[in-house]
Structure 1
Amino acid sequence: MSFIQHIPITFFLLLLIPLHFTLSHAARFDVRNNCPYIVWAAAIPGGGRQLNRGEIWTLNVNLGTKMARIWARTNCAFNNSGRGKCQTGDCGGLLQCKAYGSPQNTLAEYALNQFGKMDFFDISLVISLVDGFNVPMEFSPT
């Protein structure tokens, strides 16, 4: 098992995603929207969903997960079949993302139980803006 037991990810105190490891060797991300507006959270693996202010979306992820991403989409509109479009972070016009979001979107990346049974995570910071910026984000272990 990795050394990290719990990792919160916060979109600069606006979108919170803590990571919890359970005894079944799975990780749990609780994605919380602390923004004063609707955020359409997205994850690969995981899909996506609308989060109103204060709402939480729980993702259960296998520890062997490689190159996974979590990001926020903004100004989205979807029909009853889950098709539509987002102004930022759109993933092919789907509510349930099957591919990474298109830039401009702030991005958290992680890989669990990899080399040396270690976990890796990073964030597209304002400094580097790997995929751009749309929502402030923080990602830190506890």
Structure 2
Amino acid sequence: MASPPATNCSAVLLVVLVAAGTANAAIFTITNQCPYTVWPAATPVGGGVQLNPGDTWTIDVPAGTSSGRVWGRTGCSFNGAGTGGCATGDCAGALSCSLSGQKPLTLAEFTLAGSAGGSQQLDFYDVSVIDGFNVGLSFSCSSGETLTCRDSCCPDNTKLRHCNANSNYQVLFCP
């Protein structure tokens, strides 16, 4: 009688770890449609960059990142070491932000793989001007509604939306 095939435990473990490592991951594509330079920042991942008009920045948010923020900074000047400051949305004079920016700043906020009750996992997102308004933005996920804020009287300011877990996101400055 033939023996059952041997199971390669290492291969099974690798498949489980790869599947777990991709859970809750998301890609954020941030585009500057403003006629001026915007210096977007993102916490807890991403840091910050300079986006000239028409430029795009992509952030891979790793699995295990539960929540965060993306915002635009304006009127920035940084030296070669990444220190300087911004007129709006500044984060302690750093190009690569590790903490949230200073008022005023328009925020795109997210929570990845939050619970919707039961076993269903959803992502949640919103646009906030609670810390002031500095640049218009729209924020959407691949399976949800686009939230847009063009001025400080932002009608989408208090709307919390959801989409399927593991969605990808689009942030547009000056929509």
TM-score between the two structures when normalised by the length of structure 1 = 0.77
Q: 1:51-130, aligned counterparts within 5 Å?
A: 51-115=51-115, 116-124=120-128, 129-130=129-130
Greater strand share, structure number: 1
**Runs of 5+ in structure 1 lacking a partner?**
1-22
The separation in 1 between residues aligned to 2:136 and 2:60, in whole angstroms, is 23
Which of the two has higher C-alpha Rg?
Answer: 2
Tell me the percent identity: 49
Moved over 6 A (4+): none
Other structure's SS at 2:50 match? strand
Greater helix share, structure number: 2
- Equivalent residue for 1:38? 37
Instruction: Give the C-alpha shift of residue 64 in structure 1.
Output: 3.3
Instruction: Give the C-alpha shift of residue 98 in structure 1.
Output: 0.6
The separation in 2 between residues aligned to 1:65 and 1:122, in whole angstroms, is 17
Other structure's SS at 1:101 match? coil
The separation in 1 between residues aligned to 2:42 and 2:67, in whole angstroms, is 11
Q: Which has the higher contact order (CA 8 A, sep 6+)?
A: 1
**Runs of 5+ in structure 2 lacking a partner?**
1-20, 143-175
Other structure's SS at 1:29 match? strand
Asked if structure 2 preserves the Cα contact closer than 8 Å seen for 1:64 and 1:111, the reply is no
Other structure's SS at 2:73 match? strand
Instruction: Give the C-alpha shift of residue 62 in structure 1.
Output: 2.3
The separation in 1 between residues aligned to 2:58 and 2:49, in whole angstroms, is 11
Aligned residue type for 1:30: T
Other structure's SS at 2:76 match? strand
Tell me the alpha carbon deviations over residues 7-37 of structure 1, each in whole angstroms, 9 at most, x when there is no partner: xxxxxxxxxxxxxxxx933211111100000
Aligned residue type for 2:22: S
- Equivalent residue for 1:49? 49
